[in-house]
Amino acid sequence: MKKKILSIAVFVVLFFGTFYYLNKAFSSEHHYVNTIEDFKKLSKETNIDLVFYGSSHSYTAYNPAVFNKICNTVSYNLGSDGLRMCFTDLILEESLKFTKPKLIVLEVYDASLTLPKTDKAKGYQLRALDVIPNYSIAKWKKISEVYGEDDYLSIAFPLIRNHDKWNEVNYINVSRRQELDSSKQLFYNGFIGSKKTIKEVGKFKDFKIQRIIKDTTKSQLGRVAKKSIQEFLYKAKANGSKVLVISSPDLRVPFKKNNYFFSELEALLEKNDTPFLNLNDHYQEMDLEVKDFRDPGHLNINGANKASVFLANYIKENELL
């Protein structure tokens, strides 16, 4: 009997040890690994008072270095590629285990409030979902709303997800931090400032004066979007944090035929006693130019500096911190 127990124990230890190692080895290499690792490291050293949540619109636009200087605080940007609102509260919950921010800034735009439908969009969510432990019930509840049962194993374990890339895996160095090229981008506390400039300058040259708002009756804020925002606000406020919701500068916004979204969002947030700041209404104050964008949806490092200075002053003036 002792022999059997020993043999099962040896097998179990070997099995789980190997599984743990391979799961690490098969994890994808991307900058959100750096973001999360550095966040945890910083939160051990000090409390982070200001944290940004959202998508790439967040991590490309708000440089914590600017906020630290103007607001005399410690800030961090936890934006993740293509992250949808429905999963953002999971990142919030996870981050609150490490720090207790005074102000939480949530960045949203119309597409971020929808559920991911395409494989690519669903794939982007995994960067953030990998951060959340598999034992989290909330995680699986959300996953069940978006993904099919066939995807569950792939979501839970990078080893299953990326098993067919067996010949590309670095089996010796299992760190999946991305080597960021400082000649092309600046990385600081989750912020990634791009040094690129948008190519379609001519197409958007009138972005400051273009305002076509036609159909104001068609709602763009569905039930899922409202629920996701309210869940986020509830969790943030339950932590004792103030919340500011913002929308980042986006060159496509002035040209959209239906911008009722912002009015709807503002109304929803007002009901929830949460301030909303749409940076698309402040191009002049920010002195934003087309060349301040990396692409139509994202600011580059210059644009990020202008947006960060503007937002930091707004926070300071409104005593949100």
Q: Determine, following the binding rule CB under 8 A, whether residue 201 of this chain makes contact with other proteins.
A: no
Q: Determine, following the binding rule CB under 8 A, whether residue 267 of this chain makes contact with other proteins.
A: no
φ and ψ of 118, to 5 deg = -80, 160
φ and ψ of 156, to 5 deg = -70, -40
- Distance from CA of residue 112 to its chain's centroid? 10
CB 219, min distance to other proteins, A: 37
Name which of 148 and 240 has its Cβ closer to other proteins.
Answer: 148
**Distance separating alpha carbons of residues 251 and 115, to the nearest angstrom:** 23
**Distance separating alpha carbons of residues 171 and 158, to the nearest angstrom:** 14
Reduced to 3 states (helix: H, G, I; strand: E, B; else coil), residue 278 is: strand
**Distance separating alpha carbons of residues 165 and 173, to the nearest angstrom:** 16
CB 11, min distance to other proteins, A: 4
Name which of 11 and 234 has its Cβ closer to other proteins.
Answer: 11
Specify which residues 52 forms β-bridges with: 77, 105
Q: Determine, following the binding rule CB under 8 A, whether residue 7 of this chain makes contact with other proteins.
A: yes
CB 163, min distance to other proteins, A: 5
Q: How many residues bind other proteins (CB under 8 A)?
A: 19
Name which of 151 and 264 has its Cβ closer to other proteins.
Answer: 151
Angle ∠(170,176,180) on CA atoms, nearest 5: 110
Name which of 138 and 156 has its Cβ closer to other proteins.
Answer: 156
Contacting range for other proteins; rule: CB under 8 A; set: 87-95, 102-110, 152-160, 241-249: 152-160
Name which of 15 and 234 has its Cβ closer to other proteins.
Answer: 15
Residues 155 to 194: which contact other proteins by CB under 8 A? 159-160, 163-164, 166-167
CB 170, min distance to other proteins, A: 14
Reduced to 3 states (helix: H, G, I; strand: E, B; else coil), residue 263 is: helix
Q: Where are the beta strands (DSSP E) in 25-73?
A: 50-53
- Distance from CA of residue 58 to its chain's centroid? 7
Q: Determine, following the binding rule CB under 8 A, whether residue 20 of this chain makes contact with other proteins.
A: no
CB 29, min distance to other proteins, A: 18
- Distance from CA of residue 49 to its chain's centroid? 17
Q: Determine, following the binding rule CB under 8 A, whether residue 24 of this chain makes contact with other proteins.
A: no
State the Cα torsion 277-281-287-290 to the nearest 10°. Answer: 110
* Structure token pair of residue 238: 């339950």
Q: Determine, following the binding rule CB under 8 A, whether residue 11 of this chain makes contact with other proteins.
A: yes
**Distance separating alpha carbons of residues 100 and 4, to the nearest angstrom:** 49
CB 154, min distance to other proteins, A: 9
Q: Are 34 and 92 in contact (CB under 8 A)?
A: no
Q: Determine, following the binding rule CB under 8 A, whether residue 320 of this chain makes contact with other proteins.
A: no
Name which of 14 and 212 has its Cβ closer to other proteins.
Answer: 14
CB 14, min distance to other proteins, A: 5
CB 156, min distance to other proteins, A: 12
Q: Are 36 and 286 in contact (CB under 8 A)?
A: no
Binding site for other proteins (CB under 8 A): 4, 6-7, 10-11, 14-15, 18-19, 22, 26, 150, 153, 159-160, 163-164, 166-167
